[in-house]
Chain A
Amino acid sequence: MKPSWMLRLCAAVGFAILLLPGVLVLIVSFSAGEFLTFPPPGLSFRWYAALLSNAQLMTALGTSAILAAIVATVSLLLGAPAAYAIARLEFRGRGVLAAMLAAPLLLPTLVLGLGLLLVLQPLGLAATWPGLVLGHCLVAIPFAVRIMTTAFAAVPKELEAAAWTLGATPFRAAVRITLPNAAPGAIAAAVLTFLVSFDETVISLFLVGPRLSTLPVEMFRYAERTADPLIAALAMTLIAFALLMVVLVERLIGFTRAIGRD
């Protein structure tokens, strides 16, 4: 049945709500004014220039980029073997293992962050690199495992079986045959875990300190104090970056499949 005009109209309202904030961020980020005024009193690049010369935000950007790269690497290295086991091997408790590896995503990040603060602070590990990496891996590893499980499951089992027949050990077959064939999924997992860490706000709020802070935390605190076009310029930069990543993942494995909950 073709969708009725009524359905189209209702859906258009829904899409408008979802997409309007991004459009407004784009417009306001080029404002020449002092506040988040709409329509902007004039257009300029001044707030992008101001963003580039804001030392605090730029330092935080560097921290976040390095942190996200570390987190993506660690969660892929740890997540890939676990995902291979879940997708390929038959063993007792496979379902339990999959559920255990997904469990952290069930709990609010606020509670996870608070728990991490309470145990890391007494050890002097709050506001340190190891603390932040640990906190981010907590939410990144479940993502890496889920995406890699789908990627490994999509590689035909027969390829590996053929390698065994030709004399390869199971380890060699997994590394030389299945792993390269799951490469698009691995790249998608790396991109998504990078973004998960790069955008993670709530856990970080508990684990940062005056000398070590991430971009989302600094952005959140800035937006809490003042709403000016500088924060819109930063938001626009992040939205553009995320969209680029979304397109990349869509090309690789199909985005809705990668983040689908059911």
Chain B
Amino acid sequence: MIGWLLAAPALAVLALAFVWPMAGLFRISLNRTTETGAMEAAVTTDSYARLVGDDFTRELVLNTLTLAASSAAIAVALALPIALLVRGASPRWRGLLALAAVAPLLVSGTARLVGWMAILGDQGMINALLTGMGISTGPLALINNWTGVRIGLVESLMPYAVLVLLAGLGRLDPKLEEAAATLGANRARTFLRVTLPLAAPALLAAWLLTLVLGISAFITPRLMGGGRVFVLATEIYDLALETVDWPGAAALAMLLLGGLLALMILRGVVAAFFPGNRAEKTP
């Protein structure tokens, strides 16, 4: 009882800042947008019907899923060697390497994207290298398109993937890999037949988490897409602040939440199916 009392102030603020806005979001998604664009109080599923019947919405959903699924997969693939290296490093190096891998999380997303603009832009590093080596004559379009968005998103998802993999791989007994090596398996075979199958639950967990984060990413598609890349998040923002169609924005946000909820349930099922992934800590 005293526990709930101690937490009451924090809960009160979260109710004010979380429960109330989410209830408001749902309520407004049932309002009607009149032909003049004004909002009218109502209880109707007009906004949902408008979105579901719209080809553009379907394109947005497909865009978003393709972008997030591929970026999450690449991020996990790039994070795996980092996590394996950190796991095998001496205690002295382990902390430093892990820190270098997750430090980007605390650096503002916009600041890192400015760095990517300097790397991928028409006068950026990669194009300077390519022209300097005589490989290409004109600048390669690496930014203000899906390529740029995907690269930026992969980088922003990698630290999360590293964190999930480190938690999962920490419970993987290195003796099994040593045993494989003792029994004559070479490194590639040990990796493919022992490490990778054992890491599979952690890889899946990392992919699902980064998928969820990728689906709701806004800043990266907006800045790296240069206004030419459209995903659910950018559309919700535009509907709310540019078109000022609140019921439309709220309904699309509710649809996004529904999709994310389904994915979170899937994550729970996966975690329950592979109990090894969150088993009690090995000594």
Contact = CB atoms under 8 A, between A and B. Distances in A.
A10 to B, nearest CB: 4
Contacts of B158: 14, 17-18
Given A11-B84, A220-B223, A246-B106, A21 B7 contact: no
Query: Which of B6, B7, B82, B88 neighbours the largest number of chain A CB atoms within 10 Å of its CB?
Result: B7
A8 interface: yes
Contacts of A109: 216, 218
Interface in A97-137: 97, 100-101, 103-104, 106-112, 114-120, 134-135, 137
A235 B223 contact: no
Given A37-B123, A110-B233, A260-B167, A82 B6 contact: yes
Given A14-B158, A97-B4, A242-B107, A115 B22 contact: yes
A224 B10 contact: no
B6 A84 contact: yes
Contacts of A37: 123-124
Nearest to B143: A227
B95 interface: yes
A118 B140 CA distance: 42
A193 B261 CA distance: 27
A118 B24 contact: yes
20 contacts: A3-B85, A13-B81, A18-B100, A23-B115, A25-B118, A36-B117, A36-B121, A39-B128, A86-B3, A94-B3, A101-B10, A101-B14, A106-B264, A115-B21, A118-B25, A201-B219, A238-B111, A246-B106, A250-B95, A255-B102
Interface residues of B, number: 91
Given A81-B7, A255-B99, A223 B114 contact: yes
A36 B6 CA distance: 51
Interface of A: 1-4, 6-8, 10-11, 13-15, 17-25, 27-28, 35-39, 74, 77-79, 81-82, 84-86, 89, 91, 93-94, 97, 100-101, 103-104, 106-112, 114-120, 134-135, 137-138, 141, 145, 192, 195, 199, 201-202, 205-206, 216, 219-220, 223-224, 227, 231-232, 234-236, 238-239, 242-243, 245-246, 250, 254-256, 259-262
Interface string B171-185: 000100110010000
Interface string B1-16: 1111011011101101
Query: Which of A100, A119, A234 neighbours the largest number of chain B CB atoms within 10 Å of its CB?
Result: A119
Nearest to B85: A11
A70 to B, nearest CB: 13
A100 B14 contact: yes
B223 A224 contact: yes
Interface of B: 1-4, 6-7, 9-11, 13-14, 16-18, 20-22, 24-25, 28, 78-79, 81-82, 84-85, 88-89, 95, 98-119, 121, 123-125, 128, 154-155, 158-160, 163-164, 166-167, 174, 177-178, 181, 187, 209, 216, 218-219, 222-223, 227, 233, 236-237, 240-241, 246, 249-250, 253, 256-257, 260, 264, 278
Query: Which of A21, A85, A89, A250 neighbours the largest number of chain B CB atoms within 10 Å of its CB?
Result: A21
A112 B82 CA distance: 33
Query: Which of B4, B21, B84 neighbours the largest number of chain A CB atoms within 10 Å of its CB?
Result: B21
A196 to B, nearest CB: 9
Contacts of A220: 110, 219, 222-223
A190 B279 CA distance: 32
Contacts of B166: 256
Contacts of A97: 3-4, 7, 11
A110 B237 contact: yes
A239 B108 CA distance: 7
A227 B117 contact: yes
B219 A202 contact: yes
Query: Which of A23, A104, A115 neighbours the largest number of chain B CB atoms within 10 Å of its CB?
Result: A115
B78 A13 contact: yes
Cβ-closest 9 pairs across A and B: A21-B115, A115-B21, A108-B216, A10-B81, A235-B111, A82-B7, A85-B3, A119-B24, A91-B3
Contacts of A24: 115-116, 118-119, 125
Nearest to B158: A18
Nearest to A120: B21
Given A37-B123, A104-B17, 12 more contacts: A1-B178, A21-B114, A36-B117, A85-B4, A93-B4, A97-B11, A108-B260, A112-B21, A114-B236, A118-B24, A119-B21, A220-B222
